[in-house]
Amino acid sequence: DVKVTQSSRYLVKRTGEKVFLECVQDMDHENMFWYRQDPGLGLRLIYFSYDVKMKEKGDIPEGYSVSREKKERFSLILESASTNQTSMYLCASSLWGLAGGPGEQYFGPGTRLTVT
């Protein structure tokens, strides 16, 4: 079974703090993704990575950065947390699909981040 783990289920941080969210997958997947999920907005892609040290901006990268130093690990960094970054953060990983398209994504349990 594919397993995607996230470092924390719940996190409370203060405005202006630097926040690290860690994601680890154990299936040697090339692709890893960070999403945030907000009521009524569904999943929005923040950043993704298709290889070690490679990263691509998603739909809402502002205020975030990422790091992928090892294939199995993908970190999301909030440089200076703000209250509008209070959200559920979901990590996912996948292989490449057919003909280079997206494959099935496997999700972690999520981190509910509250910024006060």
Look-up of token digits 């969210």: 21
Using CB atoms within 10 Å of the CB of residue 8, give its burial: 0 to 12 exposed, 13 to 18 middle, 19+ buried.
middle
Number of residues that bind other proteins (CB under 8 A): 32
The alpha carbons of the chain give a radius of gyration, in whole angstroms, of 14
| Binding test (CB under 8 A) with other proteins, winner from 46, 81, 90, 113 | 90
Q: In angstroms, rounded to a whole number, what is the distance separating the alpha carbons of residues 47 and 66?
A: 7
Alpha helices in 9-70 (DSSP H): none
Which one-letter amino acid corresponds to residue 85? Q
Does residue 107 touch other proteins according to CB under 8 A? yes
Which one-letter amino acid corresponds to residue 108? G
Q: Which is nearer to other proteins, 19 or 32 (CB)?
A: 32
Does residue 87 touch other proteins according to CB under 8 A? no
| Binding test (CB under 8 A) with other proteins, winner from 11, 13, 22, 58 | 58
Does residue 40 touch other proteins according to CB under 8 A? yes
Instruction: Give me the residues that bind other proteins (CB under 8 A), please.
Output: 4, 31, 33, 35, 40-45, 48, 50, 58, 88, 90, 92, 94, 96-98, 100-110, 112
